[in-house]
Amino acid sequence: MLPHGVINAVAHAVRCPFKQCQYPNCRLVYALLLHGSRCQVRVPGGCLLCKKMWLLLYHHALSCKEDECYVPRCRDIREKMRKRLQAERDDEIHNKAAVRAAPGA
Protein backbone atom coordinates (compact mmCIF):
# COMPACT_ATOMS: atom_id res chain seq x y z
CA MET A 1 0.00 0.00 0.00
CA LEU A 2 1.17 3.51 -0.77
CA PRO A 3 1.24 6.43 1.64
CA HIS A 4 -1.25 9.14 0.73
CA GLY A 5 1.45 11.78 0.47
CA VAL A 6 3.07 9.87 -2.36
CA ILE A 7 -0.18 9.55 -4.30
CA ASN A 8 -0.93 13.24 -3.85
CA ALA A 9 2.50 14.10 -5.18
CA VAL A 10 1.87 12.46 -8.57
CA ALA A 11 -0.22 15.25 -10.08
CA HIS A 12 2.28 17.77 -8.76
CA ALA A 13 5.44 15.98 -9.82
CA VAL A 14 4.49 15.54 -13.49
CA ARG A 15 4.37 19.31 -13.92
CA CYS A 16 7.06 20.32 -11.49
CA PRO A 17 9.95 22.17 -13.14
CA PHE A 18 12.17 22.32 -10.04
CA LYS A 19 15.15 20.05 -9.63
CA GLN A 20 15.36 20.84 -5.92
CA CYS A 21 11.64 20.89 -5.15
CA GLN A 22 10.61 20.88 -1.48
CA TYR A 23 7.13 19.46 -2.10
CA PRO A 24 6.87 16.21 -0.10
CA ASN A 25 7.72 13.17 -2.25
CA CYS A 26 7.95 15.29 -5.41
CA ARG A 27 11.42 14.12 -6.39
CA LEU A 28 10.67 10.55 -5.35
CA VAL A 29 7.62 10.36 -7.63
CA TYR A 30 9.43 12.21 -10.39
CA ALA A 31 12.29 9.72 -10.31
CA LEU A 32 9.84 6.83 -10.41
CA LEU A 33 7.98 8.22 -13.44
CA LEU A 34 11.25 8.93 -15.18
CA HIS A 35 12.34 5.39 -14.52
CA GLY A 36 9.08 4.09 -15.98
CA SER A 37 9.57 6.00 -19.20
CA ARG A 38 13.12 4.73 -19.64
CA CYS A 39 13.06 1.24 -18.21
CA GLN A 40 13.75 -1.63 -20.62
CA VAL A 41 12.82 -4.39 -18.17
CA ARG A 42 9.29 -3.20 -17.30
CA VAL A 43 6.59 -5.08 -15.40
CA PRO A 44 6.52 -8.19 -17.63
CA GLY A 45 10.27 -8.50 -17.06
CA GLY A 46 9.72 -8.31 -13.30
CA CYS A 47 10.89 -4.75 -12.61
CA LEU A 48 9.82 -3.82 -9.09
CA LEU A 49 10.23 -0.09 -9.66
CA CYS A 50 7.91 -0.26 -12.67
CA LYS A 51 5.37 -2.21 -10.63
CA LYS A 52 5.53 0.50 -8.00
CA MET A 53 5.10 3.17 -10.64
CA TRP A 54 1.99 1.51 -12.08
CA LEU A 55 0.54 1.12 -8.60
CA LEU A 56 1.12 4.81 -8.10
CA LEU A 57 -0.49 5.75 -11.43
CA TYR A 58 -3.41 3.47 -10.68
CA HIS A 59 -4.02 5.01 -7.27
CA HIS A 60 -3.71 8.47 -8.72
CA ALA A 61 -6.24 7.64 -11.43
CA LEU A 62 -8.67 6.30 -8.82
CA SER A 63 -8.99 9.72 -7.24
CA CYS A 64 -8.28 11.89 -10.27
CA LYS A 65 -11.12 14.03 -11.64
CA GLU A 66 -9.04 16.07 -14.05
CA ASP A 67 -10.20 16.09 -17.67
CA GLU A 68 -6.84 17.30 -18.89
CA CYS A 69 -4.63 15.33 -16.56
CA TYR A 70 -0.90 15.47 -17.21
CA VAL A 71 -0.16 12.23 -15.46
CA PRO A 72 0.89 9.61 -18.02
CA ARG A 73 -1.74 6.90 -18.67
CA CYS A 74 -4.14 8.51 -16.19
CA ARG A 75 -6.99 8.84 -18.63
CA ASP A 76 -6.28 5.40 -20.12
CA ILE A 77 -6.48 3.83 -16.69
CA ARG A 78 -9.68 5.68 -15.83
CA GLU A 79 -11.28 4.67 -19.12
CA LYS A 80 -10.40 1.03 -18.44
CA MET A 81 -11.79 1.21 -14.91
CA ARG A 82 -15.00 2.82 -16.19
CA LYS A 83 -15.47 0.05 -18.74
CA ARG A 84 -14.81 -2.66 -16.19
CA LEU A 85 -17.32 -1.08 -13.82
CA GLN A 86 -19.87 -0.93 -16.61
CA ALA A 87 -19.26 -4.60 -17.45
CA GLU A 88 -19.73 -5.56 -13.78
CA ARG A 89 -22.99 -3.66 -13.68
CA ASP A 90 -24.18 -5.41 -16.83
CA ASP A 91 -23.30 -8.75 -15.23
CA GLU A 92 -25.28 -7.83 -12.16
CA ILE A 93 -28.33 -6.97 -14.21
CA HIS A 94 -28.01 -10.28 -16.05
CA ASN A 95 -27.67 -12.20 -12.80
CA LYS A 96 -30.74 -10.52 -11.32
CA ALA A 97 -32.69 -11.30 -14.45
CA ALA A 98 -31.55 -14.93 -14.20
CA VAL A 99 -32.70 -15.14 -10.56
CA ARG A 100 -36.07 -13.67 -11.46
CA ALA A 101 -36.46 -16.11 -14.32
CA ALA A 102 -35.55 -19.10 -12.14
CA PRO A 103 -38.54 -21.17 -11.10
CA GLY A 104 -39.56 -20.75 -7.48
CA ALA A 105 -37.50 -17.59 -6.94
CA distance 86 to 17: 38
Please list the helix, strand and coil fractions of the chain in percent, rounded to the nearest 5, in that order. 65, 0, 35
**Residue in 2, 21, 28, 55 binding Zn ion, rule: CB under 5 A:** 21
Element (H, E) at 67: none
Q: Closest by alpha carbon to 49, among 36, 61, 37, 30?
A: 36
Is 9 a binding residue for Zn ion by CB under 5 A? The answer is no
Residues in 76-105 that interact with Zn ion by CB under 5 A: none
Is 28 a binding residue for Zn ion by CB under 5 A? The answer is no
CA distance 40 to 21: 27
**Residue in 2, 14, 28, 49 binding Zn ion, rule: CB under 5 A:** 49
Smaller CB distance to Zn ion: residue 62 or 97? Answer: 62
Q: What is the Rg, in whole angstroms, of the alpha carbon atoms belonging to the chain?
A: 19
Is 56 a binding residue for Zn ion by CB under 5 A? The answer is no
Is 33 a binding residue for Zn ion by CB under 5 A? The answer is no
Q: Which residues bind Zn ion (CB under 5 A)?
A: 16, 21, 23, 26, 39, 41, 47, 49-50, 64, 66, 69, 71, 74
